[in-house]
């Protein structure tokens, strides 16, 4: 028997948690529970990220997803959480149809995942030889337009593709700004018009 | 004063002023005073201006620059002395009786020979006397072109060689006609202002009964009457001044349409509108002949112009009709032109030699050789008779005379104008103007037509009781006189009678209008004794009657105007008869006509003015007409009496004026070509005492007998006219019904035409319509079948099918488009799965190898 | 070797394929979530799961521990993941606004009531 390879064990642990809670999200009828399961699932995913050597991204996953997006979602749940919407049953027919289609999709994806030889595991020695490195600095430089990770790429064609992500970063920034303004506008304008209805709802 | 430039200017002014008046009244007539009262004044002013301009042209320009013959040319003198005038060749006759007697003994054909310059020697012997005279020119030389001024104002259009222009041809006849027309028209205008005053307010037409039994009441049309009168005068002036045949035709038709308007002035009266239609249609019949004549002449002569066209230096550029037919080389005799016989030459070349020969020699000694250039003669004959056809229509000659008496339906001033100066004068004027183109045969036709007209109309006038109808038939009869005279070669006599007749007939009509105005009826049997009530009318009319019967001292120079002209005609008839024994009827017809004329004219006067009133009621209400009507009567009466006289102290008289414009080549005696025996005698021969004496006596005695007979019957009442009527019942009926002309035309022309029209209409309705309806029905049936079989199934099926498929497809797709978010997600999933399956299938079968290799990398 | 995947899982290093399987599973869960939840927020959670699955894939393809060959995404995968996370946050904000709006308009958050797009 070989020595236990701990990264694999942790992989199984994190992947098991995230998949299990993803199934929980899928199967749960209660919206509040769904939100809770999702938080756990996403948090477990960040563990997967750490295992894959993406420490900064894993941290971002925890902060933005778990700490930001999901809080937003839960706000939404709370704002709309009237009794009748907490649990909404799906028709049995829908379940059947969804599982048939989802099963097919899953089968295809999994078979595809195992059909590519390059995606198989490395040898243990090879894997242990890999030196972990901090990714924060290269990521920050990459977002500013400088790729420090592969400056000595011999292939000229590949070097062209190694430009930084400054431009995309700017676009995403502006996009984020627009989205925030738009979301605020969408949510606010309608509510104002339907203010009496909301008030009457509140009085109930 | 330069006549060549001033005359056209003056006469154009006189011509266009009525047009201006017409246009003004046309546009503003309604607003000229109440009911257009001042329109009448405007029109009168216009025509008086025309008259002033015309008389200025006559006395201010024409007479000073073209002096009349120095010696008087009196009819009673044995000889006619012709001073040399203007461009005329010197013309004279033998001045001794002996010489003339000699001439008469010569066979008529010899005159032709005499005309030729080549034969001077041969006629020396019989003309010794003449040759020795002071005016010792060739006694029988033909006259050249009269003094005339011609030119063009405006070219309407040009088609190849056909050129239509507004031009003028002015000679003394033109100027005389201008004076005559404008003078009479002025009188008529003045008269009409009085006569038409009923139209100045709302007018109740007593002769039109509406469906509800009331009389028609309509607004007055005073201004419209004068509008038409102005147009009428303009048109007549246009004919007179016209420089070419085409222009004559244009104004000819204008005159026709004006007469249509005026005869149909009381358009609400059935009889008036029928009469207007009749006048118009009958004239069209004549105009058809005129068109044929125009085509015949134009196609052979290539011009419509009367006079020669000259350039600035007076050189002849293009020869007019007259000088083409009367060339100087031919001694101004009428000769068909080369172009006229060219066709015959081309058709029968074998014959052509003899034609050329004969045409070259016809003027020479071989006078007895049968003339061979008959094609040209026929062409000329057709052209002449064709143009005369137009004149027959316009001047109401047999057989187209039927419209004129019906034209009485117009207001009386119109009748006066139509019957004297304008419409009917136009026909006679055209014959006179066109005189050089008529061959002797055509002239014979004219003479016979005139003769028949003269007798028919005169006899009808005997029995008529409508005062205007008597005068109407009298007009027809007098027009017959004129045509007869022209046809017999009496050009001056005919034109002279045209002018004198215009005055006294205008007078007579206006007098009758005055009577009608006074007693409100046309029927002479309800008149009588009116001379006490309306003396001015009575005595002016008496003057007119005396003028028309030609009262005068026989064989003297004293008489009413008609005396001169009618005697001249009868003299010409005698002269003609003496040389053409075969046509003796033409000699005696005017004499008989004179008798009848005298009878019916005085029958009219006695019935109207003399004796006792036949209808006391009407007599009591009779009154003399206002001054505006009687003054023109007096003026015209003066002219009717004196127009034939010589102006004291001068040699100015109408015949001398007319002599100045004697048409080219008409002075010499001419002989027929197609009818070799026909001789149209030289007009001056009629002034010989041998002719003049019997003619004058015959004319006077017959007229006196007619007058006497009328007096016996109607004044002294020695014979009861009713008894006469009874004893001559068939004759009376025949005449009363106007020789059954209307009935004959009705049966011979109108009924067959109507029958034909009915047949054609039945053909139309029965066969053509049936074919049309049948084909329509077939089409309809066919289309129904096509509709049911093809349209309904194939086309509709196709369209409906496409639509249905699209509809169903849309409905089907609509079900997919549920709007359900979850369902869409399902579709995405299924789509992804399918995509994967498809890719894997492709990959496994190796269709796209590269994809697999990429993935394996 | 494929047969030994599970047997060797504790002693052998894991590969990209394992991550992809986890990602596929989460993706399927997210899709099924979207397809079956009647609650708008449930659908939104499904979307989050799907995006998360995509992130896992990107990280896996760029990880030096899982795959160390020339075709590795390397740092690019992590940068992409960062963008995905940011866009997911933006999408969540917009979707939440839409959901609130829908709730205000229909007085409901049942997506089956949202059938205005029905043809």
Where are chain C's structural domains? 14-110
Confidence (pLDDT) at B776:
93
pLDDT tens readout for residues B688-734: 777 788 888 888 888 888 888 888 888 887 777 777 777 777 777 87
Mean per-residue pLDDT of chain B: 78
Given an 8 Å threshold on Cβ–Cβ distance, is A64 in contact with C85?
A: yes
Confidence (pLDDT) at B8:
85
ipTM above 0.85, yes or no: yes
Given a contact cutoff of 8 angstroms between Cβ atoms, the answer to whether C105 and A194 are in contact is: yes
List the single residue in B with minimal CA-CA distance to A104.
B833
What is the distance in angstroms between the Cα of B838 and the nearest Cα belonging to chain A? 11
Given an 8 Å threshold on Cβ–Cβ distance, is C32 in contact with A102?
A: yes
Q: Which residues pair with B242 in a beta bridge?
A: B168
Confidence (pLDDT) at B101:
35
Partner-chain residue, chosen from C37, C38, C116, that has the shortest CB–CB distance to B819: C116
Place of tokens 């995404």: C73
Integer Cα distance of B107 and B123 in angstroms: 12
Sign of CA dihedral B773, B779, B785, B788: negative
Place of tokens 């008030």: A199
Mean pLDDT in residue range B826-837:
87
Given a contact cutoff of 8 angstroms between Cβ atoms, the answer to whether B139 and B127 are in contact is: yes
User: Running DSSP on this structure, what letter comes out for residue B787?
Assistant: I
Confidence (pLDDT) at A150:
64
Confidence (pLDDT) at C27:
92
Residue B832: its chain A contacts at CB < 8 A? 105
Looking at the 3D structure of chain A, how many domains does it have?
A: 2
Q: Is the pLDDT of residue B640 over 80?
A: yes
Q: In terms of DSSP H, where are the helices of B464-534?
A: 467-487, 491-519
pLDDT tens readout for residues B553-591: 777 777 888 888 888 888 888 888 888 887 888 888 888
Q: Residue A17 — very low, low, confident or very high, per pLDDT cuts 50/70/90?
A: very high
Query: Six-digit token pair at B478?
Result: 């007098």
- Cis, peptide link before residue C60, omega less than 30° from 0: no
Binding-face residues of C in 5-24 toward A, CB within 8 A: 5, 9-22, 24
Confidence (pLDDT) at A204:
38
- Could you tell me if A149 and A193 lie in one domain? no
Indicate the range of A143-157, B573-587, B753-767, C81-95 predicted with least confidence: A143-157
Q: Is the pLDDT of residue A25 over 80?
A: yes
pLDDT tens readout for residues B216-232: 777 778 888 888 889 98
Q: Counting runs of H as helices and runs of E as strands, what totals does chain B give? A: 35, 8
Q: Is the pLDDT of residue B363 over 50?
A: no
Confidence (pLDDT) at B142:
67
**Could you tell me which chains touch chain B, where touching means 3 or more CB pairs under 8 A?**
A, C
Q: Is the pLDDT of residue C53 over 90?
A: yes
Q: Is the pLDDT of residue B130 over 60?
A: no
Integer Cα distance of C46 and B460 in angstroms: 126
Partner-chain residue, chosen from A98, A101, A116, that has the shortest CB–CB distance to B855: A116
Confidence (pLDDT) at B161:
74
List the single residue in C with minimal CA-CA distance to A173.
C86
Q: Is the pLDDT of residue B798 over 80?
A: yes
Confidence (pLDDT) at B660:
79
Indicate the range of A189-198, B45-54, B274-283 predicted with least confidence: A189-198
Q: Is the pLDDT of residue B95 over 80?
A: no
- Could you tell me if A40 and A84 lie in one domain? yes
For chain B, the domains span 66-145+658-687, 439-645+692-731, 742-817, 822-856
pLDDT tens readout for residues B593-629: 888 889 888 888 888 888 788 878 888 888 888 888 8
Residue A100: its chain B contacts at CB < 8 A? none
Indicate the range of A115-129, B368-382, B432-446, B599-613 predicted with least confidence: B368-382
Check CB contact of A190 with chain C, cutoff 8 Å.
Answer: yes
- Could you tell me if A137 and A67 lie in one domain? yes
Confidence (pLDDT) at A22:
93
List the single residue in C with minimal CA-CA distance to B821.
C111
| A175 assigned to some structural domain | yes
Confidence (pLDDT) at B373:
58
| A171 assigned to some structural domain | yes
Is 0.80 topped by the overall pTM?
Answer: no
Nearest to B434 by CA among B500, B380, B498: B380
Given an 8 Å threshold on Cβ–Cβ distance, is A105 in contact with B833?
A: yes
Mean pLDDT in residue range B624-650:
83
Confidence (pLDDT) at A1:
54
| A75 assigned to some structural domain | yes
pLDDT tens readout for residues B764-775: 888 888 999 999
Q: Which residues contact B351 (CB under 8 A, 6 or more apart)?
A: B344, B345, B372
pLDDT tens readout for residues B455-486: 888 888 888 888 888 888 888 888 898 999 88
Confidence (pLDDT) at B104:
34
Indicate the range of B9-18, B544-553, B557-566, B644-653 predicted with least confidence: B644-653
Note the residue count of chain A. Answer: 204
Integer Cα distance of B262 and B505 in angstroms: 18
Residue-number span of the structural domain to which A66 is assigned: 6-155
Phi, psi of A87 (to 5 degrees): -120, 115
- Could you tell me if A14 and A54 lie in one domain? yes
| pLDDT: which is higher, C77 or B302 | C77
Percent of chain A scoring above 70 in pLDDT? 83
- Could you tell me if A150 and A169 lie in one domain? no
Integer Cα distance of B806 and B157 in angstroms: 69
User: Running DSSP on this structure, what letter comes out for residue A61?
Assistant: I
| A160 assigned to some structural domain | no
Q: Residue B803 — very low, low, confident or very high, per pLDDT cuts 50/70/90?
A: very high
- Classify C14-110 by CATH class: mainly alpha
CA distances from B402 to A46, B407, B470, B482, B741 (A): 129, 9, 14, 18, 7
Integer Cα distance of C118 and B456 in angstroms: 105
Mean pLDDT in residue range B644-671:
77
Confidence (pLDDT) at B629:
83
pLDDT tens readout for residues B496-508: 889 888 888 888 8
Mean pLDDT in residue range C32-45:
87
Mean pLDDT in residue range B369-398:
79
Check CB contact of C57 with chain A, cutoff 8 Å.
Answer: no
Percent of chain C scoring above 70 in pLDDT? 86
Mean pLDDT in residue range B376-402:
85
Preferred mutation among B809, B816, B819 to probe C, highest tally of C CBs within 10 A: B819
Given an 8 Å threshold on Cβ–Cβ distance, is B857 in contact with A94?
A: no
Q: In terms of DSSP H, where are the helices of B302-373?
A: 321-325, 338-347, 349-361
Nearest to B326 by CA among B663, B674, B673, B89: B663
| B529 Rama sector, left if φ>0, alpha if ψ -120 to 50, beta otherwise | left
| A44 assigned to some structural domain | yes
Q: Residue A185 — very low, low, confident or very high, per pLDDT cuts 50/70/90?
A: confident
Residue C6: its chain A contacts at CB < 8 A? none
* C110 three-state secondary structure: strand
Mean pLDDT in residue range B831-850:
76
Query: Six-digit token pair at C36?
Result: 């079956």
Binding-face residues of A in 121-180 toward C, CB within 8 A: 121-124, 126-128, 130, 132, 135, 138-139, 142-143, 147, 149-150, 165, 168, 172, 175-176, 179-180
Domain end (from A116, A133, A155): A155
* B152 three-state secondary structure: strand
Mean pLDDT in residue range B814-840:
83
Percent of chain A scoring above 90 in pLDDT? 16
pLDDT tens readout for residues A79-106: 777 777 777 777 777 888 888 888 888 8
B interface with A, Cβ–Cβ below 8 Å: 822, 826, 829-830, 832-833, 836-837, 840, 855-857
Confidence (pLDDT) at B750:
81
Confidence (pLDDT) at B807:
92
Which stretch, A3-7, B602-606, B640-644, has highest mean pLDDT? B602-606
Mean pLDDT in residue range B656-668:
77
Q: Is the pLDDT of residue A148 over 70?
A: yes
- Could you tell me if A117 and A183 lie in one domain? no
- Could you tell me if A96 and A192 lie in one domain? no
Domain end (from A115, A135, A155): A155
List the single residue in B with minimal CA-CA distance to A97.
B826
Mean pLDDT in residue range B65-86:
47
Confidence (pLDDT) at A198:
46
pLDDT tens readout for residues B413-447: 888 888 887 888 888 888 888 888 888 888 888 88
- Could you tell me if A110 and A23 lie in one domain? yes
**Could you tell me which chains touch chain A, where touching means 3 or more CB pairs under 8 A?**
B, C
What is the distance in angstroms between the Cα of C34 and the nearest Cα belonging to chain B? 6
Q: Residue C57 — very low, low, confident or very high, per pLDDT cuts 50/70/90?
A: very high
Confidence (pLDDT) at C73:
76
Partner-chain residue, chosen from A8, A49, A194, that has the shortest CB–CB distance to C14: A8
| pLDDT: which is higher, B231 or A115 | B231
Residue B829: its chain A contacts at CB < 8 A? 101-102, 105
């Amino acid at each position: 028997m070989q020595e236990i390879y701990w990264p694999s064990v942790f992989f199984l642990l994190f992947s098991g948690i995230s998949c299990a809670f993803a199934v929980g999200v899928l199967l749960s009828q209660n919206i509040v529970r769904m939100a809770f399961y999702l938080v756990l699932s996403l948090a477990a995913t960040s563990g997967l990220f750490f295992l894959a050597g993406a420490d900064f991204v894993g941290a971002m996953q925890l902060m933005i997803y778990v700490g930001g997006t999901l809080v937003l979602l839960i706000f939404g749940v709370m704002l709309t959480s009237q009794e009748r919407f907490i649990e909404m049953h799906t028709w049995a027919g829908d379940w059947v149809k969804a599982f048939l289609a989802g099963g097919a999709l899953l089968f295809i994806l999994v078979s595809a995942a195992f059909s590519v030889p390059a995606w198989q595991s490395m040898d243990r020695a090879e894997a242990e030889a890999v030196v972990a490195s901090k990714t924060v600095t290269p990521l920050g430089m990459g977002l500013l337009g400088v790729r420090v990770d592969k400056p000595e790429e011999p292939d000229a064609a590949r070097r062209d593709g190694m430009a930084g992500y400054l431009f995309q970063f700017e676009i995403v920034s502006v996009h984020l700004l627009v989205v925030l303004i738009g979301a605020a506008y969408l949510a606010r304008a309608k509510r104002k018009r339907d203010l009496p209805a909301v008030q009457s709802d509140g009085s109930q | 004063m330069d006549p060549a430039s001033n005359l056209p200017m003056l006469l154009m002014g006189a011509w266009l002023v009525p047009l201006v008046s017409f246009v003004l009244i046309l546009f503003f007539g309604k607003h000229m005073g109440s009911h257009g009262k001042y329109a009448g004044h405007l029109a009168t002013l216009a025509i008086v201006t025309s008259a002033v301009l015309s008389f200025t042209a006559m006395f201010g320009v024409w007479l000073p620059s073209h002096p009349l013959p120095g010696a008087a040319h009196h009819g009673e003198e044995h000889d006619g002395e012709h001073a040399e005038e203007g461009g005329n060749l010197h013309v004279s006759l033998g001045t001794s009786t002996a010489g003339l007697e000699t001439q008469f003994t010569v066979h008529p054909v010899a005159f032709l020979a005499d005309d030729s310059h080549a034969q001077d020697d041969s006629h020396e012997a019989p003309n010794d006397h003449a040759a020795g005279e002071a005016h010792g020119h060739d006694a029988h030389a033909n006259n050249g072109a009269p003094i005339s001024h011609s030119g063009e104002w405006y070219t309407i259009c040009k088609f190849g060689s056909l050129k239509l222009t507004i031009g003028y041809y002015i000679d003394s006849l033109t100027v005389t006609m201008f004076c005559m027309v404008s003078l009479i028209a002025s009188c008529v205008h003045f008269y009409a202002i009085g006569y038409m005053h009923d139209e100045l307010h709302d007018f109740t037409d007593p002769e039109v009964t509406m469906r509800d039994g009331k009389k028609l009441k309509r607004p007055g049309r005073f201004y419209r009457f004068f509008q038409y009168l102005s147009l009428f005068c303009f048109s007549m002036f246009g004919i007179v001044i016209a420089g070419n045949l085409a222009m004559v035709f244009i104004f000819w038709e204008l005159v026709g349409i004006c007469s249509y308007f005026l005869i149909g002035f009381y358009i609400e009266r059935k009889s008036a509108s029928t009469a207007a239609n009749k006048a118009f249609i009958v004239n069209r019949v004549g105009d058809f002949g005129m068109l044929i004549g125009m085509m015949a002449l134009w196609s052979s002569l290539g011009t419509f112009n009367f006079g020669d066209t000259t350039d600035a230096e007076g050189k002849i550029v293009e020869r007019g009709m007259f000088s083409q037919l009367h060339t100087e080389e031919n001694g101004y005799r009428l000769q068909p032109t080369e172009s006229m016989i060219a066709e015959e030459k081309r058709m029968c070349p074998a014959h052509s030699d003899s034609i050329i020969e004969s045409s070259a020699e016809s003027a020479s000694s071989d006078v007895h050789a049968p003339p061979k250039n008959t094609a040209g003669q026929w062409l000329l004959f057709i052209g002449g008779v064709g143009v005369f056809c137009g004149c027959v229509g316009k001047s109401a000659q047999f057989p187209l005379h039927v419209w004129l008496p019906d034209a009485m339906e117009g207001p009386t001033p119109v009748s006066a104008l139509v019957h004297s100066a304008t419409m009917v004068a136009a026909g006679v004027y055209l014959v006179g103007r066109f005189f050089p183109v008529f061959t002797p045969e055509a002239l014979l036709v004219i003479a016979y037509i005139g003769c028949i007209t003269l007798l028919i109309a005169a006899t009808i006038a005997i029995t008529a009781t409508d005062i205007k109808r008597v005068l109407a038939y009298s007009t027809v009869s007098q027009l017959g006189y004129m045509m007869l005279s022209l046809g017999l070669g009496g050009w001056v006599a005919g034109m002279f009678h045209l002018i004198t007749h215009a005055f006294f007939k205008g007078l007579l009509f206006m007098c009758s209008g005055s009577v009608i105005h006074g007693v409100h009826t046309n029927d002479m049997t309800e008149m009588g004794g009116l001379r006490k009530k309306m003396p001015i009318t009575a005595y002016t009319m008496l003057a007119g009657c005396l003028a028309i019967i030609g009262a005068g001292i026989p064989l003297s120079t004293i008489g009413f105007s008609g005396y001169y002209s009618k005697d001249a005609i009868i003299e010409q008839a005698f002269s003609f008869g003496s040389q053409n024994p075969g046509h003796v009827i033409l000699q005696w017809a005017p004499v008989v006509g004179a008798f009848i004329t005298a009878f019916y004219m005085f029958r009219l006067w006695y019935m109207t003015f003399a004796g006792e009133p036949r209808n006391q009621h009407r007599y009591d209400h009779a009154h003399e007409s206002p001054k505006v009507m009687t003054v023109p009567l007096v003026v015209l009466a003066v002219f009717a009496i004196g127009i034939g006289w010589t102006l004291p102290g001068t040699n100015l008289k109408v015949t001398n004026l007319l002599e100045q414009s004697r048409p080219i080549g008409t002075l010499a005696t001419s002989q027929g070509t197609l009818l070799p025996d026909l001789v149209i005698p030289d007009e001056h021969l009629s002034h010989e005492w041998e002719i003049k004496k019997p003619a004058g006596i015959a004319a006077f005695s017959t007229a006196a007998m007619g007058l006497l007979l009328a007096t016996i019957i109607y004044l002294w009442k020695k014979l009861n006219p009713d008894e006469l009527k009874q004893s001559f019942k068939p004759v009376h009926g025949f005449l009363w019904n106007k020789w059954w002309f209307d009935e004959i035309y009705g049966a011979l022309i109108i009924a067959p035409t109507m029958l034909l029209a009915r047949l054609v209409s039945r053909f139309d309705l029965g066969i053509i319509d049936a074919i049309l309806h049948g084909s329509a029905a077939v089409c309809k049936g066919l289309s129904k079948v096509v509709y049911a079989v093809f349209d309904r199934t194939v086309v509709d099926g196709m369209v409906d099918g496409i639509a249905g498929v699209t509809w169903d497809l849309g409905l089907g797709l609509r079900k997919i488009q549920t709007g359900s978010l979850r369902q869409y997600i399902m579709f995405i999933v299924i789509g992804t799965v399918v995509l994967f399956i498809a890719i894997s299938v492709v990959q496994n079968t190796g269709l796209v190898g590269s994809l697999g290799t990429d993935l394996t990398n | 070797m494929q047969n030994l995947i599970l047997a060797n899982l504790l002693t052998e290093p894991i590969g990209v394929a394992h991550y992809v399987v986890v990602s596929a599973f989460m993706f399927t869960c997210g899709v099924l979530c979207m397809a079956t939840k009647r609650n708008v927020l449930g659908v939104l959670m499904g979307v989050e799961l799907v995006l998360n699955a995509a992130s896992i894939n990107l990280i896996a393809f760029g990880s030096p521990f899982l795959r160390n060959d020339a075709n590795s995404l390397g740092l690019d995968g992590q940068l992409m993941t960062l963008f995905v996370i940011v866009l997911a946050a933006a999408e969540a904000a917009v979707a939440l606004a839409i959901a609130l709006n829908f709730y205000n308009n229909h007085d409901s958050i049942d997506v089956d009531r949202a059938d205005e797009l029905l043809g």
